[in-house]
Amino acid sequence: MRFATLSPSVQLAQIETSFGLNAGAGGALQLSRLIGLGRAFEYVFSSKDIDAKTAEQYGWINRAFPTSVEMYSYVQSLAQRIALFPVDGIVASKTGMNEFSRPDLETIVEDAQDKIAALTPEMVALATKFVEITGNQSIGKVELDYGDEVFALYNTSTTGSSKQVTRGCQAVWNMPFRVC
């Protein structure tokens, strides 16, 4: 289950593609099941941020609450309700739902290993630059507003020059849509 507050600081994203990586090894594998393939493509390919209200509407999170107090109150109440029921039933239900809706652990591990094996010098350079521009801090402008700040990786403040757009078109030529 996934819950969030409607705070402007709550932003979800899949940023791996902006480093040249294949978004996978867990969360991104689930995203198309949560929000649909088309929306997953939109967010994975663009590394755009999504706010909690939109994430709730799309199914990325279960519910968004106006305040953290309301969220914690709801989660506590939900946990207390679930705790009333026999553990065996909860375990069996969770196991069954996961078997039909999630890849198995072996698939997730294999996917992660494939990502590591496929690292290129460009990917490592982009990841290194990300660490440099964020100061390796998660509470900073770049990290907290990555959807807008991603262009810092490419030394531009807009969608990019013609060269970058052309490069992007070539990179996604075999995708199920045309970017340019």
Backbone angles phi, psi at 68, to 5 degrees: -70, -30
The residue to which tokens 């849509």 are assigned: 177
Residue 180, in any domain of the structure: no
Tell me which residue range forms the domain holding 77.
3-171
Residue 35, in any domain of the structure: yes
Residue 177, in any domain of the structure: no
Using only C-alpha atoms, the chain has a radius of gyration, in whole angstroms, of 19
Task: Measure the CA–CA gap between 73 and 163, rounded to whole angstroms.
Answer: 51
User: What is the overall mean pLDDT for the chain?
Assistant: 79
CB atoms closer than 10 angstroms to residue 45:
18
The residue to which tokens 């979800």 are assigned: 12
Label residue 38 left, alpha or beta by phi (over 0 means left) and psi (-120 to 50 means alpha).
alpha
pLDDT digit string (tens) for 82-134?
999 999 999 999 989 888 777 777 877 787 777 777 778 887 888 788 888 77
> What's the start-to-end Cα distance of the chain, in Å?
37
Residue 90, in any domain of the structure: yes
Give pLDDT, residue 77: 96
CATH of residue 129? 3.90.226.10
Higher-confidence residue of 63 and 146: namely 63
Residue 57, in any domain of the structure: yes
Residue 134, in any domain of the structure: yes
Scanning 49-161, the segments in alpha helix (DSSP H) are 52-58, 68-83, 87-101, 105-117, 121-134, 141-144, 146-149
Give pLDDT, residue 61: 95
Query: How many domains does the chain contain in total?
Result: 1
Residue 179, in any domain of the structure: no
pLDDT class of 164 with cuts at 50, 70, 90 = very low
pLDDT digit string (tens) for 22-54?
776 566 778 888 899 899 999 998 989 999 999
